[in-house]
Amino acid sequence: MSARRHPPQWAPRPAPGARPRPRHRVLRAVLVVGLAAVLGLVGLAAGGVWWGTNHYGDQVTRIPDSFPTGPRPPRPTGHDGGTTFLLAGVDSRSKRPTTGTGATAQLWRYGAQRSDTLMLVHLSADEDTAYTTSIPRDSWVPIAGHGSAKINAAFSWGGPPLLIRTVEQLTGARVDHFGVIDWHGFRALTDAVGGVPVTVAQNSYDPQQHRHFTAGTQVMNGEEALAYVRQRHGLPGGELDRIKHQQQFLRSLVGEVRGGVKLTDPLGTDKTLDAITSAVSIDDRMSNGDLRDLAFGLRGFDTAGAVFTTAPIVRSEFIHGQYTLILDKQKLRAQWRAAETGDRPGAGR
Protein backbone atom coordinates (compact mmCIF):
# COMPACT_ATOMS: atom_id res chain seq x y z
CA MET A 1 0.00 0.00 0.00
CA SER A 2 1.44 3.36 -0.94
CA ALA A 3 1.42 6.43 1.24
CA ARG A 4 -1.66 8.61 0.90
CA ARG A 5 -1.12 11.84 -0.95
CA HIS A 6 -3.47 13.75 1.30
CA PRO A 7 -3.32 12.10 4.75
CA PRO A 8 -5.37 13.42 7.67
CA GLN A 9 -3.77 16.11 9.80
CA TRP A 10 -3.59 15.98 13.57
CA ALA A 11 -4.40 19.34 15.10
CA PRO A 12 -4.21 19.45 18.93
CA ARG A 13 -7.44 20.31 20.69
CA PRO A 14 -8.10 21.28 24.30
CA ALA A 15 -9.99 18.97 26.65
CA PRO A 16 -13.80 19.39 26.65
CA GLY A 17 -14.80 22.25 28.92
CA ALA A 18 -11.33 23.78 28.95
CA ARG A 19 -11.26 27.55 29.21
CA PRO A 20 -9.42 29.39 26.44
CA ARG A 21 -6.02 30.64 27.47
CA PRO A 22 -3.62 33.12 25.87
CA ARG A 23 -0.92 31.39 23.84
CA HIS A 24 2.58 31.42 25.26
CA ARG A 25 5.95 31.65 23.65
CA VAL A 26 7.94 28.53 22.78
CA LEU A 27 7.18 25.94 25.47
CA ARG A 28 7.61 22.23 26.15
CA ALA A 29 7.19 19.61 28.84
CA VAL A 30 8.44 16.60 30.69
CA LEU A 31 7.00 13.09 30.37
CA VAL A 32 3.32 12.39 30.98
CA VAL A 33 4.37 10.38 34.01
CA GLY A 34 6.37 13.34 35.25
CA LEU A 35 3.34 15.57 34.75
CA ALA A 36 1.19 13.31 36.88
CA ALA A 37 3.87 13.16 39.58
CA VAL A 38 4.03 16.94 39.66
CA LEU A 39 0.27 17.27 39.86
CA GLY A 40 0.30 14.91 42.80
CA LEU A 41 2.42 17.40 44.70
CA VAL A 42 -0.07 20.24 44.32
CA GLY A 43 -1.88 19.21 47.48
CA LEU A 44 -1.14 16.95 50.41
CA ALA A 45 -4.80 16.14 50.91
CA ALA A 46 -7.23 14.51 48.51
CA GLY A 47 -9.01 17.80 47.93
CA GLY A 48 -5.81 19.48 46.82
CA VAL A 49 -4.99 16.73 44.34
CA TRP A 50 -8.59 16.76 43.06
CA TRP A 51 -8.44 20.51 42.43
CA GLY A 52 -4.97 20.37 40.91
CA THR A 53 -5.68 17.59 38.43
CA ASN A 54 -8.89 19.24 37.27
CA HIS A 55 -7.48 22.74 37.06
CA TYR A 56 -4.28 21.81 35.26
CA GLY A 57 -5.63 18.68 33.58
CA ASP A 58 -8.23 20.79 31.77
CA GLN A 59 -5.39 22.81 30.28
CA VAL A 60 -3.48 19.82 28.87
CA THR A 61 -3.94 19.54 25.11
CA ARG A 62 -5.52 16.28 23.96
CA ILE A 63 -4.70 14.69 20.58
CA PRO A 64 -7.77 13.30 18.80
CA ASP A 65 -7.69 9.84 17.18
CA SER A 66 -4.21 8.99 18.42
CA PHE A 67 -4.56 5.22 18.33
CA PRO A 68 -4.51 2.86 15.33
CA THR A 69 -7.61 1.02 14.26
CA GLY A 70 -7.73 -2.76 13.91
CA PRO A 71 -6.18 -5.51 16.04
CA ARG A 72 -3.89 -4.52 18.90
CA PRO A 73 -1.42 -6.72 20.84
CA PRO A 74 -2.98 -8.61 23.77
CA ARG A 75 -1.68 -8.12 27.28
CA PRO A 76 0.62 -10.98 28.33
CA THR A 77 -0.44 -13.64 30.81
CA GLY A 78 0.49 -12.42 34.28
CA HIS A 79 0.30 -8.71 33.35
CA ASP A 80 0.78 -6.67 36.53
CA GLY A 81 -2.14 -4.33 35.85
CA GLY A 82 0.14 -1.34 35.28
CA THR A 83 0.02 1.29 32.55
CA THR A 84 2.16 1.64 29.44
CA PHE A 85 2.96 5.02 27.89
CA LEU A 86 4.64 5.78 24.58
CA LEU A 87 6.43 9.11 24.80
CA ALA A 88 7.83 10.86 21.75
CA GLY A 89 10.06 13.87 21.33
CA VAL A 90 9.43 15.44 17.93
CA ASP A 91 12.17 16.89 15.76
CA SER A 92 9.83 19.28 13.98
CA ARG A 93 10.70 21.28 10.90
CA SER A 94 8.33 23.94 12.21
CA LYS A 95 9.82 27.11 13.65
CA ARG A 96 6.73 27.41 15.85
CA PRO A 97 5.65 25.17 18.77
CA THR A 98 3.61 22.13 17.76
CA THR A 99 2.66 20.65 21.14
CA GLY A 100 0.70 21.82 24.17
CA THR A 101 -1.48 24.88 24.61
CA GLY A 102 1.46 26.95 23.43
CA ALA A 103 1.26 25.33 19.98
CA THR A 104 0.80 27.70 17.06
CA ALA A 105 1.45 25.06 14.39
CA GLN A 106 -0.01 21.63 13.66
CA LEU A 107 1.37 18.67 15.57
CA TRP A 108 1.73 16.59 12.42
CA ARG A 109 1.86 17.14 8.68
CA TYR A 110 2.91 14.44 6.24
CA GLY A 111 6.70 14.44 5.90
CA ALA A 112 7.22 17.50 8.10
CA GLN A 113 8.07 15.95 11.50
CA ARG A 114 9.93 12.88 12.66
CA SER A 115 10.16 11.40 16.14
CA ASP A 116 13.62 12.18 17.47
CA THR A 117 13.24 10.49 20.85
CA LEU A 118 11.11 7.44 21.68
CA MET A 119 10.58 6.08 25.18
CA LEU A 120 8.29 3.22 26.10
CA VAL A 121 7.39 3.50 29.80
CA HIS A 122 5.61 0.93 31.94
CA LEU A 123 4.39 2.17 35.31
CA SER A 124 3.72 -0.71 37.68
CA ALA A 125 0.27 -1.11 39.20
CA ASP A 126 1.62 -0.18 42.64
CA GLU A 127 3.34 2.86 41.03
CA ASP A 128 6.61 2.03 42.76
CA THR A 129 8.54 1.34 39.56
CA ALA A 130 8.72 3.02 36.17
CA TYR A 131 10.49 0.84 33.61
CA THR A 132 11.66 2.79 30.55
CA THR A 133 13.05 1.45 27.30
CA SER A 134 14.53 3.93 24.83
CA ILE A 135 14.20 2.98 21.16
CA PRO A 136 16.95 4.54 19.01
CA ARG A 137 15.62 6.67 16.17
CA ASP A 138 17.91 4.84 13.69
CA SER A 139 16.32 1.45 14.45
CA TRP A 140 15.48 -0.33 11.18
CA VAL A 141 11.97 -1.76 11.57
CA PRO A 142 8.89 -2.77 9.55
CA ILE A 143 6.40 0.11 9.16
CA ALA A 144 2.91 -0.92 8.08
CA GLY A 145 2.23 0.11 4.48
CA HIS A 146 5.79 1.30 3.88
CA GLY A 147 8.05 -1.74 4.06
CA SER A 148 11.04 -1.26 6.38
CA ALA A 149 12.63 2.04 7.37
CA LYS A 150 14.06 3.91 10.32
CA ILE A 151 11.52 3.99 13.12
CA ASN A 152 11.49 7.79 13.22
CA ALA A 153 9.83 7.80 9.79
CA ALA A 154 6.64 6.25 11.19
CA PHE A 155 5.52 9.51 12.76
CA SER A 156 6.46 11.42 9.62
CA TRP A 157 4.35 9.16 7.40
CA GLY A 158 1.33 8.52 9.60
CA GLY A 159 1.35 10.61 12.77
CA PRO A 160 0.59 9.10 16.20
CA PRO A 161 -1.46 6.08 14.97
CA LEU A 162 1.27 4.74 12.69
CA LEU A 163 3.97 5.40 15.29
CA ILE A 164 1.99 3.54 17.97
CA ARG A 165 1.27 0.62 15.62
CA THR A 166 4.95 0.41 14.66
CA VAL A 167 6.15 0.34 18.27
CA GLU A 168 3.49 -2.19 19.29
CA GLN A 169 4.41 -4.52 16.44
CA LEU A 170 8.09 -4.19 17.29
CA THR A 171 7.89 -4.72 21.05
CA GLY A 172 4.64 -6.63 21.60
CA ALA A 173 3.58 -3.91 24.05
CA ARG A 174 0.00 -2.64 24.30
CA VAL A 175 0.26 1.15 24.52
CA ASP A 176 -2.34 2.64 26.89
CA HIS A 177 -1.46 6.32 26.52
CA PHE A 178 0.60 8.52 24.21
CA GLY A 179 2.42 11.75 24.98
CA VAL A 180 4.36 14.00 22.61
CA ILE A 181 6.65 16.97 23.14
CA ASP A 182 8.78 19.18 20.91
CA TRP A 183 12.13 20.86 21.41
CA HIS A 184 10.70 24.37 21.75
CA GLY A 185 9.15 23.64 25.12
CA PHE A 186 12.09 21.56 26.30
CA ARG A 187 14.12 24.75 26.49
CA ALA A 188 11.32 26.65 28.22
CA LEU A 189 10.63 24.01 30.86
CA THR A 190 14.32 23.70 31.68
CA ASP A 191 14.49 27.47 32.14
CA ALA A 192 11.21 27.48 34.14
CA VAL A 193 12.76 25.27 36.85
CA GLY A 194 15.87 27.45 36.99
CA GLY A 195 18.08 25.08 35.01
CA VAL A 196 18.89 21.41 35.56
CA PRO A 197 22.08 20.03 37.14
CA VAL A 198 23.90 17.57 34.87
CA THR A 199 27.19 15.77 35.35
CA VAL A 200 29.06 15.62 32.05
CA ALA A 201 31.25 12.53 32.03
CA GLN A 202 34.00 13.76 29.71
CA ASN A 203 35.14 16.66 27.57
CA SER A 204 33.81 16.49 24.02
CA TYR A 205 33.17 18.58 20.95
CA ASP A 206 30.11 18.25 18.72
CA PRO A 207 31.15 19.33 15.19
CA GLN A 208 27.56 19.38 13.98
CA GLN A 209 26.35 21.77 16.68
CA HIS A 210 29.74 23.50 17.00
CA ARG A 211 29.63 23.11 20.78
CA HIS A 212 32.14 22.13 23.44
CA PHE A 213 30.99 20.15 26.49
CA THR A 214 33.17 20.32 29.60
CA ALA A 215 33.41 17.46 32.10
CA GLY A 216 31.93 18.08 35.53
CA THR A 217 28.64 18.96 37.18
CA GLN A 218 26.93 22.08 35.90
CA VAL A 219 23.48 23.64 35.86
CA MET A 220 22.32 23.80 32.24
CA ASN A 221 19.80 26.29 30.92
CA GLY A 222 17.34 25.37 28.20
CA GLU A 223 19.62 26.06 25.24
CA GLU A 224 22.56 24.20 26.79
CA ALA A 225 20.39 21.27 27.82
CA LEU A 226 18.88 20.92 24.36
CA ALA A 227 22.33 20.78 22.80
CA TYR A 228 23.41 18.18 25.39
CA VAL A 229 20.51 15.77 24.82
CA ARG A 230 20.81 16.09 21.04
CA GLN A 231 24.56 15.45 20.87
CA ARG A 232 25.69 12.25 19.20
CA HIS A 233 28.68 13.48 17.19
CA GLY A 234 31.94 13.58 19.11
CA LEU A 235 30.81 10.83 21.50
CA PRO A 236 32.46 7.38 21.45
CA GLY A 237 29.08 5.62 21.58
CA GLY A 238 27.32 7.92 19.12
CA GLU A 239 23.55 7.44 19.26
CA LEU A 240 23.76 5.17 22.32
CA ASP A 241 25.62 7.82 24.30
CA ARG A 242 23.00 10.34 23.20
CA ILE A 243 20.31 8.10 24.68
CA LYS A 244 22.26 7.91 27.94
CA HIS A 245 22.37 11.72 28.02
CA GLN A 246 18.61 11.87 27.50
CA GLN A 247 17.88 9.38 30.27
CA GLN A 248 20.33 11.10 32.63
CA PHE A 249 18.81 14.49 31.95
CA LEU A 250 15.25 13.22 32.32
CA ARG A 251 15.92 11.78 35.76
CA SER A 252 17.42 15.08 36.92
CA LEU A 253 14.68 17.17 35.30
CA VAL A 254 11.90 15.23 37.02
CA GLY A 255 13.66 15.84 40.34
CA GLU A 256 13.86 19.56 39.64
CA VAL A 257 10.21 19.74 38.60
CA ARG A 258 9.13 17.93 41.75
CA GLY A 259 11.23 20.31 43.84
CA GLY A 260 9.69 23.31 42.09
CA VAL A 261 6.15 22.45 43.16
CA LYS A 262 5.65 23.66 46.74
CA LEU A 263 2.64 24.77 48.70
CA THR A 264 4.82 27.48 50.23
CA ASP A 265 5.61 28.92 46.79
CA PRO A 266 2.34 29.19 44.84
CA LEU A 267 3.80 31.51 42.21
CA GLY A 268 6.71 29.19 41.51
CA THR A 269 4.39 26.20 41.48
CA ASP A 270 2.04 27.84 39.00
CA LYS A 271 4.94 28.82 36.75
CA THR A 272 6.26 25.26 36.66
CA LEU A 273 2.90 23.62 36.05
CA ASP A 274 2.00 26.26 33.49
CA ALA A 275 5.19 25.47 31.56
CA ILE A 276 4.27 21.79 31.54
CA THR A 277 0.66 22.14 30.47
CA SER A 278 1.62 24.72 27.86
CA ALA A 279 3.85 22.24 26.07
CA VAL A 280 2.74 18.63 26.47
CA SER A 281 0.09 16.97 24.31
CA ILE A 282 -1.51 13.65 25.26
CA ASP A 283 -4.04 11.27 23.74
CA ASP A 284 -7.69 12.13 24.20
CA ARG A 285 -8.36 8.84 26.00
CA MET A 286 -6.46 10.11 29.04
CA SER A 287 -9.02 11.83 31.20
CA ASN A 288 -8.55 14.10 34.19
CA GLY A 289 -9.59 11.10 36.26
CA ASP A 290 -6.68 9.10 34.84
CA LEU A 291 -4.35 11.97 35.73
CA ARG A 292 -5.85 12.11 39.21
CA ASP A 293 -5.30 8.38 39.75
CA LEU A 294 -1.69 8.79 38.71
CA ALA A 295 -1.36 11.79 40.99
CA PHE A 296 -2.52 9.83 44.03
CA GLY A 297 -0.21 6.93 43.24
CA LEU A 298 2.85 8.97 42.35
CA ARG A 299 2.94 11.44 45.22
CA GLY A 300 5.56 9.32 46.95
CA PHE A 301 7.33 8.08 43.82
CA ASP A 302 11.12 8.11 44.15
CA THR A 303 13.26 8.43 41.03
CA ALA A 304 15.29 5.55 42.49
CA GLY A 305 12.39 3.40 41.31
CA ALA A 306 13.02 4.42 37.71
CA VAL A 307 14.74 1.76 35.59
CA PHE A 308 16.21 2.88 32.25
CA THR A 309 17.29 0.55 29.45
CA THR A 310 17.86 0.76 25.71
CA ALA A 311 16.46 -1.62 23.10
CA PRO A 312 19.06 -4.38 22.55
CA ILE A 313 21.10 -3.87 19.37
CA VAL A 314 22.62 -6.63 17.24
CA ARG A 315 24.72 -4.44 14.95
CA SER A 316 24.86 -1.25 12.92
CA GLU A 317 24.45 -1.44 9.17
CA PHE A 318 24.22 0.84 6.14
CA ILE A 319 20.97 0.25 4.26
CA HIS A 320 20.20 2.25 1.13
CA GLY A 321 23.00 4.60 2.09
CA GLN A 322 21.55 5.21 5.56
CA TYR A 323 23.16 4.45 8.91
CA THR A 324 20.80 2.07 10.74
CA LEU A 325 20.68 -0.06 13.87
CA ILE A 326 19.45 -3.66 13.74
CA LEU A 327 17.62 -4.60 16.93
CA ASP A 328 17.36 -7.96 18.67
CA LYS A 329 13.58 -8.12 18.38
CA GLN A 330 13.21 -11.38 20.30
CA LYS A 331 15.25 -10.12 23.26
CA LEU A 332 13.44 -6.77 23.21
CA ARG A 333 10.05 -8.49 23.37
CA ALA A 334 11.23 -10.74 26.21
CA GLN A 335 12.51 -7.75 28.20
CA TRP A 336 9.28 -5.85 27.73
CA ARG A 337 7.17 -8.87 28.68
CA ALA A 338 9.21 -9.13 31.88
CA ALA A 339 8.58 -5.45 32.61
CA GLU A 340 4.81 -5.86 32.16
CA THR A 341 4.57 -8.98 34.31
CA GLY A 342 6.63 -7.62 37.20
CA ASP A 343 9.77 -9.68 36.54
CA ARG A 344 11.68 -6.55 35.61
CA PRO A 345 15.26 -6.71 34.43
CA GLY A 346 17.64 -4.61 36.45
CA ALA A 347 19.77 -3.42 33.57
CA GLY A 348 20.33 0.29 33.60
CA ARG A 349 19.72 0.82 37.31
pLDDT number for residue 348: 39
| Mean pLDDT of the 227-249 span | 86
Tell me the CB-side half-sphere exposure of residue 12, using CA atoms within 13 A. 27
User: Judging by DSSP bridges, how do beta strands 211-213 and 13-14 pair with one another?
Assistant: unpaired
Calpha distance 32→38 (Å, rounded): 10
| Mean pLDDT of the 338-344 span | 81
Give per-residue pLDDT as tens, 269-285: 666 667 777 777 888 89
Contact 112, 93 (CB under 8 A): yes
Q: Collapse the DSSP code of 325 into the 3-class scheme (helix H, G, I; strand E, B; otherwise coil) and give the result.
A: strand
| Mean pLDDT of the 48-60 span | 64
- What's the helix, strand, coil split of the chain in %, to 5? 35, 25, 40
- Return the ∠ at Cα 343 (arms to 294 and 239), rounded to 5°: 80
Give per-residue pLDDT as tens, 179-196: 887 777 777 778 877 889
Examine the pLDDT at 174 and tell me if it is beyond 70: yes
| Mean pLDDT of the 30-53 span | 44
The residue ranking higher by pLDDT, 24 or 210, is 210
pLDDT number for residue 277: 73
Helix (H) or strand (E) holding 329: helix 329-341
Give per-residue pLDDT as tens, 96-130: 767 666 666 667 666 666 667 788 989 888 777 78
